[in-house]
C-alpha cells in the first residue's frame, strides 16, 4: 500500500502506476486543498509534518477498526532506537 501525503507527484506523469491508465496519482495534501475550496475541510493551515502526523494517526485508527485490532501507540526517541539491551 502506498499513501502519498505530501509527495512530489511530478515523476508520476511518466509512469502508469499499477496499470491504471484512466486515473491520476494523488496525495492527501492535494485532496485537502480541493476540500478547502469546497468547504469540506479546514486543514489548509497545516504544515507537511502536521498533515503526515494526522494521516498516520487516522490510518492506524481506521485500520484497527476494520480489522478489529487494538494498538498501543508509544513515542520513542532516536536514541532509544540505537540503545542495546
Residues marked active site are found at 18
Cα dist from 65 to 24, 59, 72, whole Å: 28, 10, 13
CB atoms < 10 A from the CB of 26, how many? 13
Q: Report CA Rg, the chain.
A: 17
Amino acid at each position: 500500500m502506498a499513501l502519498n501525503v505530501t509527495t512530489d507527484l511530478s515523476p508520476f506523469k511518466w509512469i502508469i502506476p499499477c496499470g491504471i491508465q484512466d486515473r491520476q496519482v494523488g496525495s492527501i495534501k492535494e485532496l485537502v486543498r480541493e476540500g478547502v475550496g469546497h468547504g469540506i475541510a479546514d486543514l489548509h493551515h497545516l504544515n507537511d509534518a502536521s498533515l503526515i502526523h494526522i494521516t498516520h494517526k487516522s490510518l492506524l485508527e481506521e485500520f484497527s477498526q476494520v480489522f478489529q485490532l487494538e494498538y498501543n501507540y508509544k513515542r520513542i526517541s532516536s536514541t532509544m532506537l540505537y540503545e542495546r539491551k
